[in-house]
């Protein structure tokens, strides 16, 4: 992976977010968790991936993508960067939220359009959440796009959420995110043990067979 000249922006964003007191607590600026030199290096790392058209790419040489632009903007927000992103507005305002049916990508477009005050355009594709990830991001979309159909689709009963019989970490992540605040102490202990088992020996993001937690 040396050709990347460093980790993807998505990894950097999630790593910085993980250093916060709580997953969704953005009250503490990221720059307070990094020394000045480290923050400046990270900002430079992100900005060198910006393209002439305003978007950001995976590397300085690859073209801009929605996902890389989203994570670049979020990292710069966490750093409280004063970088001039005026050129990014043209790129973002040219994005259509209907360009994909993937809830995560739709959410990233809507977040960026709100960030740069781009006027509403187009329409949302019919919501069809099936995976836990889709359910999670349609819930996030409902917070940005105040639409009754989206809100109804994003609604769920925490007890009705189910995991596959042999889940992987990605599925467990969204499962726990959707049930945030609803877990009992025994449930929390169960998932802590599950992750620890996976950490000891993890294939495909799940604990080895025969070593499941109760």
pTM to 2 decimal places: 0.73
Question: Is the confidence at residue 23, as pLDDT, over 50?
Answer: no
- The percentage of the chain sitting over the pLDDT mark of 70, rounded to a whole number, equals 64
Report how far apart, in Å, the C-alpha atoms of 77 and of each of 16, 74, 95, 160 are. Answer: 12, 5, 20, 35
Contact 109, 122 (CB under 8 A): no
> C-alpha 47: how far from its chain's center?
19
Distance, CA of 81 to CA of 73 (rounded, Å): 10
Q: Averaged over 133-151, what is the pLDDT?
A: 72
Which pLDDT score, from 0 to 100, does residue 130 have?
67
DSSP 8-state secondary structure symbol assigned to residue 201: S
Question: Is the confidence at residue 195, as pLDDT, over 50?
Answer: yes
**Higher pLDDT among residues 196 and 74, named by residue:** 74
């Amino acid at each position: 992976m040396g050709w990347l000249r460093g980790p993807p922006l998505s990894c950097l964003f999630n790593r910085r977010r993980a250093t916060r007191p709580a997953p969704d607590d953005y009250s503490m600026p990221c720059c307070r968790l990094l020394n000045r030199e480290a923050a400046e290096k990270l900002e430079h790392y992100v900005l060198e991936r910006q393209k002439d058209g305003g978007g950001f790419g995976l590397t300085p040489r690859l073209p801009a993508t929605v996902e890389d632009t989203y994570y670049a903007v979020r990292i710069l927000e966490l750093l409280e960067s004063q970088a001039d992103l005026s050129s990014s507005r043209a790129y973002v305002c040219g994005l259509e939220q209907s360009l994909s049916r993937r809830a995560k990508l739709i959410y990233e477009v809507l977040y960026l359009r709100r960030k740069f005050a781009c006027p509403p355009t187009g329409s949302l594709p019919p919501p069809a959440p099936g995976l836990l990830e889709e359910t999670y991001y349609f819930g996030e979309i409902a917070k940005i796009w105040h639409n009754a159909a989206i809100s109804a689709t994003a609604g769920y009963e925490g007890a009705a959420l189910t995991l596959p019989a042999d889940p992987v970490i990605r599925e467990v992540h969204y499962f726990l995110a959707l049930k945030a605040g609803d877990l009992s102490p025994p449930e929390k202990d169960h998932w802590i043990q599950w992750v620890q088992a996976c950490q000891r020996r993890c294939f495909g993001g799940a604990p080895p067979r025969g070593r499941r937690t109760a």
